[in-house]
Amino acid sequence: MESVFAGDIEVSIVRAGREIAKVVRPLRETAKGPVIRFKRRFWSVRDGVVDLDAGPIVEGMGFDAGEVAEKNGPSAGEDDNLQNEVISAPATDRLLVDAGPGTGKTFVACSRVAALINEGIPAGRIWLVSFTRAAMQEIRNRLVSYVDDPADASAVKIATLDSQAWSIQAGFSNEAKLTGSHNDNIRTTLQHILGDLDVQEYIGRIRHLIVDEAQDIIGDRARLVLALIDHMSADCGVTVFCDRAQAIYGFTEDSSGLEDDNILVDELQRRSFELRELRRVHRTSDPSLLKIFTSVRQQVLDERLSSTAKGELVRNEIRRLAANQLGQFRELDLADVPANSLVLVRQRCDALSISGENAGVPHRLRMSGLPARVYPWLAETFWDYIERRVSQDGFMELWQTRIDGNTAPFTADRAWQLMVEAAGVAGQIVDLHRLRELLGRSAPPVIFTSPDYGDEGPVVGTIHASKGREGDNVFLYLPPVESGGDDEEEIRVVYVGATRARFQLSVGDAPGPQSGKIEGRVWKRLPKDKLLIEIGRAGDLDAEGLVGMAAFSEEDALRAQTLIASNRTVQGLSAAAKADLDWNMDLVMPDKQRIAVLTDKIRLDLRAIARSTKRWPQPGYIGGLRSIGVRTLAVRPDDPALDRLNEPWRSSGFVLAPMLVGFGWSKLRERR
């Protein structure tokens, strides 16, 4: 029986009418209808749901599981052995796995974890770290379908390297503090590993370490991973996944050049890690895309060519193999872009411009610098709940009266399960103070956050932020080649963007750098002294500006929160500096009702822009702002800002915040 690969699909796994998991699986169209593989068996998919009570598909009667497995499973023939060599390797082995884009790395990583657990390795002694939150989120979402006991998936320590470092530091130091600098956090944790016997004993309990995206771990982070490995027991295994063709994080969205030449992969090779390789591409069956994933990858890695010649060759090949040639990025109409698509650019300025030009079309954003989007159901449920603990019955009652099940990301049962996993006390009680401590971090647990900034539509983002993700269609806008840049790094950035596509790649043109930055905030100076400035970065809104006593009375704060909740998407917001707010800017609806006060970060950045343009006084008004949704802002129980909030938020610690995005406009003043 013929089966046709139809791309990956996210499905709900249901038993007894209740969702028990969400998984992403390759979908096959067969004579028996759409099919996925789950728990080593094949199941019919109907309207994005697999009903376990209906039973798996039985072989025969027009269905050949062997044929589907050969075409859709991890691999066939030699390549199947390549994956199994990693999955089934002894738990004590130390492996360096070369895995190009789309070669089933996540499948192998999850299968490796399941195999280790089946060997008897305690799930809580398995650590899995990566450079990016996106990779961790995908692995966490998929791991539950690979293990026999869902509790094992929750027990595996899955985190970004920065989050894992903070957990170590916070667990062994009474003076641990978030300084705002991720590098400081890494260095402090490294010092603990090198000099604290208690930390070394803790690390010695690890039974297996899995490192993802190792090609991007450089500098202090590379030294931290090496210190972990050096202080683990001799029989602790390590599995490291890497792809040099995708090494781009020394080369960020708006800058060039490696930050440090201490690269983790090089050090592991010197330590005689056993080399393994994944070769077969599973992400796509399109012949042209397959050439990009394989032949073009070899060109990217070819050290015989000069960087300039290689860059021209790779760009030309990607354009030649693309299904469509687009024009300039400003010509893109997101209304014509399918929902399961990625629109990718090199510079965050271009992503903001595309988003602004298509403000009326629902879409999501993916780029650095945005706040973590903690799902709004948390604030909607607990905004006036002042007790420290909540029972399951109490939570269910709150959920039923406050949450619209049609818009919630999952069921009440799943929401409760996640809270228990993060902050449970004896299984039937959740400690909300502990939950707020987790949610109040700059990088809260991914189980409470959406993968993108927004709720629906295609994703507009930078190539860097979309690494490790994929879409049915990719609209890739390439900037011109810049003189004086790092050609090798740019080649890999372009290659990463092109290999996000499952079915179709379209290529267009974007301009070169045309914006300034103040503390990461993008701004552009236009003719006639018009100014565009990015609003909505992490830290632009805080709890004081949303429900603080300096900005609102208790009655006005409640009115503002109600406006935010009932206007999830809104255009025409504006902000103006007010003397009674120490010249911070109040954010108002189109009818001028205040919903927040922006933090002084924006005021200070406007001052810096005024100085750099030699215009004074600084702009005091920003128009054209918009919100694309709502999110939860959690205040940690030890945050002194709580004393400056109105009730009930001072006691609850849960606040609803608008999701501000894009460019606002202002005007530079006369030269002085």
Task: Report the Cα–Cα distance between both ends of the chain, in Å, rounded.
Answer: 78
Q: Do domains 77-278 and 287-371+452-514 have the same CATH topology?
A: yes
**Dihedral sign from CA coordinates of 114, 119, 123, 125:** negative
Q: How far apart are CA 67 and CA 393, in angstroms?
A: 48
Question: How do strand 126-130 and strand 208-212 relate by DSSP bridges?
Answer: parallel
Domain ranges for the chain:
4-72, 77-278, 287-371+452-514, 377-448, 517-667
Interhelix angle 161-172/182-195, nearest 10 degrees? 50
Reduced to 3 states, what is the DSSP secondary structure of residue 569? coil
In this structure, the dihedral spanned by the alpha carbons of residues 457, 460, 465 and 469, taken in order and rounded to 10 degrees, is 50
Q: What is the pLDDT of residues 134-162, one digit of tens each?
A: 777 778 878 888 888 878 888 899 888 88
Helix (H) or strand (E) holding 588: strand 585-588
- Report pLDDT digits (tens) over 389-438: 999 999 999 999 999 988 889 899 999 999 998 999 977 899 999 999 99
56-105 residue pLDDT tens: 876 544 455 444 444 443 444 555 688 899 999 999 999 999 999 999 89
- Say if strands 429-431 and 389-391 run parallel, antiparallel, or are unpaired: antiparallel
Question: In terms of pLDDT, which residue wins out, 386 or 52?
Answer: 386
Burial of 187 (0-12, 13-18, 19+ CB in 10 A): middle
597's tokens: 């006060």
**For the residues of 433-474, what is the DSSP string, one character each?**
HHHHHHHTSSS--GGGB-SSBSSSS-EEEETTTTTT--EEEE
Confidence of residue 486 (pLDDT cuts 50, 70, 90): low
Q: Is 517 helix (H, G, I), strand (E, B) or coil?
A: strand
Long-range contacts (CB closer than 8 Å, 24 or more residues apart) made by 606-611: 606/533, 606/666, 608/518, 608/519, 609/516, 609/518, 609/523, 609/531, 609/533, 610/668, 610/669
**Tens-place pLDDT, residues 303-339:** 888 888 999 999 999 999 999 999 999 999 999 999 9
pLDDT digits (tens, 9 = 90+) for 15-69: 777 777 777 677 777 777 788 877 667 888 887 888 887 878 765 444 554 444 4
pLDDT at 7 over 70: no
Residue-level pLDDT at 68: 44
What DSSP designation does 615 have? B
Write the DSSP string, 278-322.
E----S---HHHHHIIIIIHHHHH-SSS-HHHHHHHHHHHHHHH-
- Contact by Cβ (8 Å): 93, 209: no
Helix (H) or strand (E) holding 478: strand 471-478
DSSP β-ladder status, 516-518 and 521-525: antiparallel
- The domain 287-371+452-514: what is its CATH number? 3.40.50
How does residue 125 score in pLDDT terms, banded at 50, 70 and 90?
A: very high
Calpha distance 381→403 (Å, rounded) = 7
Q: How far apart are CA 644 and CA 551, in angstroms?
A: 10
Residue 568 has what pLDDT?
Answer: 92
How many H helices and E strands in the chain? 23, 29
Preceding peptide of 648 cis, ω within 30°:
yes
What does residue 413 show for φ and ψ, rounded to 5 degrees?
-60, -40
CATH fold of 77-278 reads Rossmann fold (3.40.50)
Candidates 253, 490, 451, 243; CA nearest to 342 is 451
pLDDT for residue 70: 40
Secondary structure class of 667 (helix, strand, coil): strand
For residue 26, with 0-12 CB atoms within 10 Å meaning exposed, 13-18 middle and 19 or more buried, which class applies?
buried
Segment 230-262, tens digit of pLDDT: 999 999 999 999 998 888 765 444 444 444 455
Label the pairing between strands 459-462 and 364-366.
parallel
Q: In whole angstroms, what separates CA 349 from the centre of its chain?
A: 19
Max Cα–Cα distance, the chain, nearest Å: 83
CA atoms of 43 and 63, how far apart (whole Å): 11
What is the Cα–Cα distance from 457 to 550, expressed in whole angstroms? 38
Q: In this structure, which amino acid lies at residue 512? A: G
Q: Locate the DSSP E strands across 320-431.
A: 324-328, 341-345, 364-366, 389-391, 424-425, 429-431
Residue 485 has pLDDT above 80, yes or no: no
Closest to 544 measured CA to CA, from 413, 440, 645: 645
Residues 6+ apart with CB under 8 A from 568: 627, 629, 630
